[in-house]
A and B are shown apart, each in its own frame.
Chain A
Amino acid sequence: MDIQIKRGLLDVCVLAAIKNKDSYGYQIIKDMKPYMQISESTLYPILRRLEEGGFLTVYSVEHNGRLRKYYRITKNGLRRLNEFTDEWKEIMQVYQFITRED
């Protein structure tokens, strides 16, 4: 897959992974696995970027005597997801045009 497309997709996938329920790093990787393989190293800067961009917030929860960071999607993050799906509806129409058989 084109690296630029993949980069954009990963951001949105991470947002999608926390869309319905707050989640933590390892869970996000597990949830994404069937659709997109992502390593810990790759996820780290994505989470930072999304946090700095105001698309998600971070809070710590105690778990088994250690802290675990949970990520919660913000209004901005939800808006970003919506923009993405709108855009892809258009792209899918073009795709149908490209692959149509007369």
Chain B
Amino acid sequence: MKKQEFLNEISARLNGLPDEEIRRSIDYFSEMIDDRMEDGMSEEEAVEAAGSVDDAVNEILKDVPLTKVIKAKASTRRKLRAWEIVLLIIGSPIWFPLLLCFVILIWVIYIIIWAIVVCFWAVVLAFLVGGAGAVGIGILSLPRIPTALPALAIAAGLVLMGISLLLIGPMIKLSKVTGKLAKVIVLWIKSWFIGGKKNA
């Protein structure tokens, strides 16, 4: 691939980001390729060494806040024609709920992901607190209830606490996986707004 092709492709895939952001990225990769060519590589080799367009776009998007991405996309780049405005207003009962629904949907997905994490930890905490409570009550009622019941409560409580401790390790792993999943989803949402037309 030629340098200009590479840069054009990146810039097309970033379409929708603030111009300043796109220009910086292009300047950066352009400088890198030029430097490699000065170092003795051919143009094709230098572009090859710069890596894939996908990697470049992903890394650039990762560091741009989601709000900025959406804002950039929302501010239209050209003036609307009169009939377009009329159409927009007439159509607003349709597109507005749809847009709202879409935004809410993204939010819900995000909230659900974190709700799952909260759930995991609630379970661990519940086991721990429940277990500690059972042990406590067992000890307190030991002198008053002369049956095996308090001992049973203590034993059950200890088992519960044990389970909660055993759960901590897997829970940490699950939380990490969920965190990664959330990141992937955010990146995926960003790439929805940005570019759109993937150059083959």
Contacts and interface: CB of A to CB of B under 8 A. Distances in A.
B44 interface: no
A41 B59 contact: yes
B31 A44 contact: no
A64 B60 CA distance: 27
Interface in A30-74: 39-42, 44-45, 47-49, 64, 66-69
A27 B118 CA distance: 46
Given A41-B51, A44-B56, A67-B27, A49 B35 contact: no
A23 B123 CA distance: 52
Q: Is the interface of A mostly helix, strand, loop or mixed?
A: helix
A39 B55 contact: yes
B28 A44 contact: yes
A71 B154 CA distance: 64
Interface string B18-43: 00000001011101101110110000
B31 A68 contact: yes
B129 interface: no
Contact of B28 (A39, A64, A66, A69): A69
B1 to A, nearest CB: 14
B51 A39 contact: yes
Question: Range of interface residues on chain B?
Answer: 20 to 34
A44 B35 contact: no
A24 B35 contact: yes
A64 B38 CA distance: 10
Nearest to B56: A41
B62 interface: yes
A7 to B, nearest CB: 12
Contacts of A42: 59
Contact of B55 (A24, A41, A66): A41
Nearest to A52: B63
Contacts of A25: 28, 31-32, 35
B51 A40 contact: yes
Q: List the 5 closest A-B pairs by CB distance, nearest first.
A: A26-B35, A45-B63, A41-B55, A41-B59, A41-B56
